Amino acid sequence: MPNKPIYKRREWKRIRASVLQRDCYQCQECKRTGDDVVANTVHHTEPGDDSKFYDTQYMISLCNEHHEAMHDRNNGRLTETGKYWLMRSKRGMIRAVFDYDDSPPPQMSINADT
């Protein structure tokens, strides 16, 4: 039986869930710019480096729009925003998760009073 694609493997799904939980299911780029948008994608800040594939220090939670904005799809290079997050991860400014909790995500609500 052939190997499962890496994004279908149990280990990736567990790590993906822990990164989303760590980031409170919020797009970190939206949060950085003052918006509150639910994240549905985990981005590798250093794509192509297999040695860091499962290292949560090199991952952030993003919405689809911002995930697409991290890479120039014409040449495969990181955009300026992608480079910003790579710099943060290299400086250890993205929190690492050591415990995994498989509880459901928190309910997201937007309250104008907060």
Per residue in 13-71, pLDDT tens? 999 999 999 999 999 999 988 999 999 999 999 888 888 889 999 999 999 999 999 98
The residue extents of the domains of the chain are: 6-90
Type and span of the H or E element at 19 = helix 10-22
Tokens found for residue 67: 């995930």
Q: Which long-range contacts (CB under 8 A, 24 or more apart) does 39-42 make?
A: 39/63, 40/64, 41/67, 42/15, 42/16
pTM of the model: 0.74
Q: How far apart are CA 47 and CA 35, in angstroms?
A: 25
What was the pLDDT predicted at 95? 58
End-to-end CA distance of the chain: 52
